[in-house]
A = this chain, B = another copy of it.
Amino acid sequence: MATDAQQACFEAGIKFGSLYHQFAGTPVSPRSTRSLETAIAESIENQPFCESVTVAIDDDAVAADIDHENGYTELSGHLLEVDMRIAYDGVTVSTRMEMEDGYPLMKLVEVVETDD
């Protein structure tokens, strides 16, 4: 009923929602950004049709977000950028999460039918 391209976009959305709501709230400091980036990427790459995930947590933004004595903050949208590529039955979808107007916007960058 849905086209392969629509299905690919649905799958891409699932990965983004999963990534964000699994890991938002994780305690993070400049000492732990690299291990968290790696774990997020490798975790979401387990999901079906997920070819690659790249996560970049902004160390400077994390440091700036620490406004109390404890030396850490919680992961949230304004601290990270994510690129993801989903491949579903001959369609490749490139997606990206980045801040836009103070809101972590998840967006479709490109939908390519590679198969015909």
Contact = CB atoms under 8 A, between A and B. Distances in A.
A19 B13 CA distance: 12
A51 interface: no
A82 interface: no
A46 interface: yes
Given A24-B74, A32-B46, A36-B43, A17 B13 contact: yes
Interface residues of A, number: 57
Interface string A24-48: 1111110110011011101111111
A89 interface: no
A28 B43 contact: yes
The 8 A-B residue pairs with the shortest CB-CB distance, nearest first, are A13-B13, A17-B17, A39-B39, A46-B72, A17-B18, A24-B25, A32-B42, A13-B14
Interface of A: 1-3, 5-7, 9-22, 24-29, 31-32, 35-36, 38-40, 42-48, 67-72, 74, 76, 95, 101-103, 106, 108-111
